[in-house]
Amino acid sequence: MEYKIELVNLSVYYGDFHALRNINMQIGAKTITALIGPSGCGKSTMLRTINRINELIDGTRIEGKILIDQKDIYHPKTDILQLRKKAGMVFQRPNCFPLSVYDNITYGPRVHGIKKKAELDEIVEKSLRATWLWDELKEKMKKSALSLSLEYQQRLCIARVLALGSEIILLDEPCSALDPITTLRIEELLVELKKDYTIIIVTHNMQQAARVSNYSGYMLMGELVEVNETSKIFTSPQDKRTEDYITGRFG
Amino acid sequence: MLKPIFWEQVMKKILFVGTAITVFILFFIIFYILKNGLAVVDMEFLLSSPKDFGRAGGIFPCIVGTIVLSLVAIIIATPLGVGTSIYLSEYTRESKLTSIIRFGTDCLAGIPSIIFGLFGFVLFVVYLGLGWSILSGGLTIAFMILPTIIRTSEEAIKSVPDYYREVSLSLGGTKWQTIVKVVLPSALPGIVTGIILGVARSIEETAIVIFTAGSVLRIPTSLFDSCRTMSVHFYILAREGISMENAYGTATILIITILLINAFAYWLMHRLMAKYS
């Protein structure tokens, strides 16, 4: 089987701090993988390393490889802009630009050079439909995105990534600012999106990992302790540390 | 021993008196100028040329001179100033060098304008041979207002939340696209405020204009012509005892201009800020 994303002996340092320790992981296409673990264990770092947004932090250093579609994304010849287009990120807090709904969604396509109104309109409709926002928002294209509810804003952020034409969606605790009901709706959306996209979600919420993901990885202090099918992780973890965490004895 | 509540009362009163004095002085100056000046201000005063060195007639050439000179200064200073602030806040990391540059701009902001005037005279008027001209004056005033524009723009750019940049980059935008499409629009109200402060300072500037743009009382027809601004006109009328009435008249127009610019700045800022929030 060919994997969509492969992490090979991946280590990340922030200055002297060893944030990720020798991670090896394979992620298949059109699956949802959840990364769980206590705060500071490196889940977000791992996600941000795949989008290469982590490099913005001073003193970040990386060893090992990340392959997407068998290509090393840290190869010097990698087109970083194309990589970020392919693997889009959704952040913890809804972070729409202070622009209209329409301009938020078309931001990505525009920076990648799409200018034609008809083409942009089509992208907007497609990504809003995919995130179940079209019926609600089709009349409100010109409204400020910041006037929407947090849930809608977060869905808009997901739509913004879809509009890029991404193949991979990286979500960094996307529901931590949302209430339980809206969280469920985002989860349903993710399960629906899995049909077309490869999704990695970092979450603090173990029920969430159990509900949405096919595979789960448990991380602790920069190490990937265990990764397996979600049902197995939650019913018969192989590692004692994983078991302690998911049974609530630790973390 | 006096109780804290006593000091609370006393300080509140002292602060109120201080505020009252400030406001009183401001209104007194405006009232005094308007009282003495409004009598001579009419359309004739605004639209006709001075006669007899300004004893009679209007101040039209000075109004034109003021507008053109400020315009030249702002056209030069805006791209330089905003560009510098973008470079400082987006393209450099905090280091010794950036703090030296910042210290330098702060010092520049504190230099008396007459010294800028002398510098402009030596460099532009004499050495580069531009003579007393709108170009010499505009360039020199631009240098004077640069620090204002740089610092206000930099503060505005810094106050743009970091996550805007992060999102834009994470979507595959380049740094420049991020600056143009996200950072600058959000920072615009602050940047515009800086530019308008710069306009106001160039309109009221006197020393630099005398040193570098001269005081010829004609409507300028090219950038290489000398011109006289309202501030300079006022200075000469009052200083040489030519006509106090017309000096007050000129001052009235000057003050009204500054008030209008400030009002416009407020209006524009609120409009820009209200755009999407």
pLDDT at B4 over 90: no
Cβ–Cβ of A112/B172 closer than 8 Å? yes
Q: For residue A126, tell me if it sits in a domain.
A: no
What secondary structure letter does DSSP report for B161?
Answer: -
Please give the pLDDT value at position A1.
62
Q: For residue A219, tell me if it sits in a domain.
A: yes
Q: For residue A129, tell me if it sits in a domain.
A: no
What secondary structure letter does DSSP report for B126?
Answer: I
Q: For residue A121, tell me if it sits in a domain.
A: no
For tokens 């973390």, what's the residue? A251
pLDDT at B261 over 60: yes
Cβ–Cβ of B170/A89 closer than 8 Å? yes
Q: For residue A64, tell me if it sits in a domain.
A: yes
- The verdict on A79 touching B (C-beta cutoff 8 Å) is no
| Per-residue confidence in pLDDT tens, chain A, 251 aa | 678 999 999 999 998 899 999 999 999 999 999 999 988 899 999 999 999 999 888 889 999 999 999 999 999 999 999 999 999 999 998 999 989 999 999 999 999 999 999 999 999 999 999 888 999 898 999 999 999 999 899 999 999 999 999 999 999 999 988 888 888 988 999 999 999 999 999 998 888 999 999 999 999 999 999 999 999 999 888 998 998 888 887 65
Residue B3 pLDDT grade (very low, low, confident, very high; cuts 50, 70, 90): confident
Q: For residue A73, tell me if it sits in a domain.
A: yes
Give the pLDDT mean for B80-109.
Answer: 90
Please give the pLDDT value at position A152.
92
Please give the pLDDT value at position B164.
93
| 3-state DSSP percent of chain B in helix, strand and coil, to 5 | 80, 0, 20
Please give the pLDDT value at position B184.
93
Query: By C-alpha distance, which of B189, B181, B122, B130 is closest to B155?
Result: B189
H/E element, A208: helix A206-212
Residue B276 pLDDT grade (very low, low, confident, very high; cuts 50, 70, 90): low
Please name the member of B171, B174, B185 whose beta carbon is closest to the beta carbon of A160. B171
pLDDT at B149 over 70: yes
What secondary structure letter does DSSP report for B53?
Answer: G
SS3 labels along B253-268:
HHHHHHHHHHHHHHHH
Q: For residue A115, tell me if it sits in a domain.
A: no
Q: What is the nearest CA distance from A228 to chain B, expressed in angstroms?
A: 28
Task: Indicate which CATH number applies to the domain containing A45.
Answer: 3.40.50.300
Q: For residue A76, tell me if it sits in a domain.
A: yes
What CATH superfamily is the domain B43-252?
Answer: MetI-like (1.10.3720.10)
Q: What total of structural domains would you count in chain A?
A: 1
B268-276 long-range contacts (CB < 8 A, ≥24 apart) are B268/B192, B268/B196, B269/B189, B269/B192, B269/B193, B272/B188, B272/B189, B272/B192, B273/B189, B276/A98, B276/A99, B276/A100, B276/A144, B276/A146
ipTM for the predicted complex comes to 0.90
Given phi > 0 = left and psi -120 to 50 = alpha, else beta, which region is A173?
left
Q: What is the domain extent for residue A242?
A: 3-93+167-246
Question: Coil, helix or strand for B39?
Answer: helix
Cβ–Cβ of A95/B170 closer than 8 Å? no
How many CB pairs below 8 Å do chains A and B form together?
64
Cβ–Cβ of A164/B171 closer than 8 Å? yes
Percent of chain B with pLDDT over 90: 69
